Amino acid sequence: MKVNYAGTIPLSTLDWGGKAAVTIFFRGCSLRCPYCQNYPYLEESELVELDFVKEQMRNSSPFVSSVVFSGGEPLMQKAVVPLAEFAKGLGLLVGIHTNGCHPEMVTELIKQKLVDKFFIDVKAPLSAPEIYGKVTGCEKYEAVKKTPEEITAAVIETIEIADSSGLELELRTTVIRDFIGSEEDIASIAAWISKKVKNREVIYVLQQGIPEHSLQENLRKTRVLEREELYELGKIAKKFLKNVRIRTKEAGEEII
């Protein structure tokens, strides 16, 4: 079996808060978010053997407690299942970063007990498919095959499956000035999570988008949201949710 592979961080303390992880990046994604910084991973292929990726995990396993599959979109690849199985054999916890558009793979990993935590993007208010479509590139990129309504339905299904599993769950929104993450957007997302997610320990993270390396060129000169601005947005989310955090380049992860 081949893997569309992008790279490995042998030791990361950022991709799974509180844990040392080996992070594996996969190529390919079903969305084209205009602010995506990993866009070189979206189109190109670099197929490697499954054993090559396994060796990356094996080499890091003495120094880490977990593996994180990221991308791109890792759940586009069937190889995630045998790789997660291999990671479990090494005694590693398994975390999945996902855009939420592949609920069938979420179900499969849970069914086989091959995952310990999901990190799911909530890119815009799930009650507003038209905004979600803008934020995921539906309007501009032919590579996005689903409609905004289909994307939001898939993300909602993914969250429901992950929530019902009893596993750890982190939901994240990347904030880009004048594009996504207004006070209204954050209030809408946080209110939806509060109403729809049963796990009261769910973590909601607002991430400081760094648009200078965006897929969409006209976003690259957008001024980065300051830490204080993100903190104020975090306080809005905190009105609805127990566990709210912000992540910035200046201060790392902070609990609101």
Say what the pLDDT of residue 240 is: 98
H or E segment at 155?
Answer: helix 148-165
pTM above 0.75, yes or no: yes
Contact 163, 145 (CB under 8 A): no
- pLDDT at residue 43 greater than cutoff 80: no
Query: In this structure, are residues 61 and 52 in contact, taking their beta carbons and an 8 Å threshold?
Result: no
Q: Which domain holds residue 239?
A: 2-255
- Work out the angle at residue 123's Cα, subtended by the Cα atoms of residues 122 and 126, and round it to the nearest 5 degrees: 65
Q: Which residue has the tokens 């769950």?
A: 169
pLDDT, position 42: 85
Per-residue model confidence (pLDDT) at position 45: 87
Q: What are the tens digits of pLDDT across the range 115-155?
A: 999 999 999 999 999 999 999 999 889 999 999 999 999 99
CATH code for the domain of 219: 3.20.20.70
Q: What is the pLDDT of residue 253?
A: 94
Total structural domains in the chain?
1
pLDDT at 9: 97
